[in-house]
Amino acid sequence: MKKIIIAGFQHETNTFAPTKARYQDFVQGGGFPPLTRGAEILKFREQNIPIGGFIQEAEQLGYQLLPVIWAATSPSAHVEQGTYQRICDEIIAAIHNANQVDAIYLDLHGAMVAEQVDDGEGELLRHIREAVGPDIPVIASLDFHANVTQAMFTQSDVLMSYRTYPHVDMAKTGQRCAQLLEQIFQGKKLHKKMYKLPFLIALNAQCTELEPTQSCMTLLEQLEQKTSVQMNFTPGFPAADFAECGGSIWGYSESFSQLEQAMQCLIEQVLENEKQWSMDFLSPDAAIQQALKLIQQENSVAKPIVIADTQDNPGAGGDSNTTGMLYALYHHQVKNALIGLIADPVVVQQACQLKMGEHFHTQLGGTSGITGDFPFAGEFKIKAYSDGKFRYAGPMMHGVEADIGPSVLLEIAGIEIAVSSYKAQLLDRNMFKIFGIAPEEKSIIVVKSSVHFRADFQDIAAAILVAKSPGAMKADPNDLPWKKINPDIRLVPLGESLAQHDQPLRRIV
């Protein structure tokens, strides 16, 4: 019986975000399952997260699993160094203390930056490789937004990434890891090769339900069906200021010639489509005006217009507390509107001291410190309370239990606002339904998300718009004050690199 150590450490780091990730954030989970140790990790087998898929497949293959720790939290600025070291040390210690293990599986993100370590996963994998030696397989699943580094690639035997954004194939990716590990156990020897993209791709343009990403992923799967190659393409997380930020294409095969041919084919497809990855965004006012116009045109269709408040997406480093879209809804006197989540534990605490239906005056959100963001002052009505505990029911994160802390539904001038104690990306309708709301009955819904919400909201939406309101996650990489990034990478498709400017590391504001 093969003995496999399994562990998970996931964080997507926006180095430009205002808030760092503390140990307590991983304990709480921030929209993910809370920090879990030992045999409790095996309960993830039915959940749509990578380690869940790996557990399910590995158990069917008859492996003995030795679970250590699984930790994740909402994207933010750097992981505090002590937190990073504490979790890494726990994984490394378990490996040192284990007796005769046959492989290591890690559920990673691929875009983690700690306070003193730019390449969070690469450094962890380096220590693991030192601990197990060159002959023990080390395999990891990665997020679709991974910034794959040379260290990550060389210190692992296999890295397998998601193929969907929204990420509906997380468990499937874990299953693929277990299946390829079985092939390695059976003697399969893999060649590998990696290519780094010469330009950054904005998050909103990476959606696999839209072009050109959809066609690239279709080609990837076609290449696999025709050959023995295992292919991967991650467009990257374009808000991590370090030298190896950016997308990657890589693959594995017993046949080096097939690997080279498949790699070249996919690389050409990606480069030829560079122009199509350019992205336009609406201002908050323009988004509301367009939504109201669409409602008038589609009056017979009782479906809401869904607007992504993309720059305050806590799934990309925002704190889910800016008010730009709320101000736009209020200014245009929108009725039957819904917005969430706005994370404001102070306002939740104020509301919880009052009764249902009461009105109270307060200042909501607007504490980001970001230029153009202000608290929203007003007289709010309390519509509902929740303890914040829920289970995801949509295609992404399906079955995962999460906690956004004590929460309250407020209303002002026909606008309902879901206010939570903890930040979490609004990607599942159950995050509204905990308040007794039926989102599909609203006219306009504003979600603090970039793309993931599409998985559960696409079917109920008459249209989806993307708004660029003040927030920590700059939707356009050209708007970020880069310092460490490779000066030769183009900051946007067909755009300029820092090296093309007079000042090599120009601050872009």
Tens digit of each residue's pLDDT, the chain (509 residues):
999 999 999 999 999 998 999 999 999 998 899 999 999 999 999 999 999 999 999 999 999 999 999 999 999 999 999 999 999 999 999 999 998 999 999 999 999 999 999 999 999 999 999 999 999 999 999 999 999 999 999 999 999 999 999 999 999 999 999 999 999 999 999 999 999 999 999 999 999 999 999 999 999 999 999 998 999 999 999 999 999 999 999 999 999 999 999 999 999 999 999 999 998 899 999 999 999 999 988 665 689 999 999 999 999 999 999 999 999 999 999 999 999 999 999 999 999 999 999 999 999 999 999 999 999 999 999 999 999 999 999 999 999 999 999 999 999 999 999 999 999 999 999 999 999 999 999 999 999 999 999 999 999 999 999 999 999 989 999 999 999 999 999 999 999 999 986 444 433 32
Question: Can you give the pLDDT at residue 300?
Answer: 53
| N-to-C CA span, the chain | 57
Tokens of 187: 């003697």
Integer angstrom CA distances of residue 479 from 77, 282, 293, 386: 17, 15, 30, 37
Question: Can you give the pLDDT at residue 301?
Answer: 60
Could you give phi then psi for residue 391, rounded to 5 degrees?
-125, 130
How does 269-308 read in b/e, with b if 16+ C-beta sit within 10 Å? bbeeebeebebebbebeebbebbbebbeeeeeeebbbbbb
In angstroms, the CA 449 to CA 447 distance is 6
Torsion sign across C-alpha atoms 110, 234, 314, 426: negative
* Closest to 143 in 3D by CA, of 212, 232, 257, 36: 232
Residue with tokens 């009461």: 358
Tokens of 208: 């696999």
Question: Can you give the pLDDT at residue 297?
Answer: 84
In angstroms, the CA 506 to CA 272 distance is 28
Strands 415-420 and 407-412: antiparallel
In angstroms, the CA 149 to CA 167 distance is 21
Contact (Cβ atoms closer than 8 angstroms) between residue 340 and residue 423:
no
Q: What is the CA radius of gyration of the chain?
A: 23
Q: Please list the residues that pair with 92 across neighbouring strands.
A: none
Tokens of 412: 């002002």
Helices 324-331 and 284-297: angle between axes, nearest 10 degrees? 50
Tokens of 246: 């950016």
How many residues are recorded in the chain? 509
Q: State the amino acid at position 275 in one-letter form.
A: K
Strands 191-196 and 3-10: unpaired
Residue 438, Cβ density class (10 Å: 0-12 exposed, 13-18 middle, ≥19 buried): exposed
Q: What angle do CA 110, 121, 221 make, to 5 degrees?
A: 35
Distance from CA of residue 132 to its chain's centroid? 30
Residue with tokens 């933010």: 76
Integer angstrom CA distances of residue 126 from 88, 97, 138, 288: 11, 18, 10, 49
Distance from CA of residue 466 to its chain's centroid? 17
Contact (Cβ atoms closer than 8 angstroms) between residue 366 and residue 374:
yes
H/E run at residue 362: strand 359-364
Contact (Cβ atoms closer than 8 angstroms) between residue 35 and residue 71:
yes
Map out the domains of the chain with their CATH numbers.
Answer: 1-187 (3.40.50.2300), 189-279+477-509 (3.90.1170), 284-467 (no CATH)
Strands 401-403 and 36-37: unpaired
Report DSSP state, residue 502: S
H/E run at residue 340: strand 337-343
The predicted model scores a pTM of: 0.92
Q: How many CB atoms lie within 10 A of CB 44?
A: 27
In angstroms, the CA 423 to CA 353 distance is 21
Torsion sign across C-alpha atoms 370, 372, 374, 380: negative
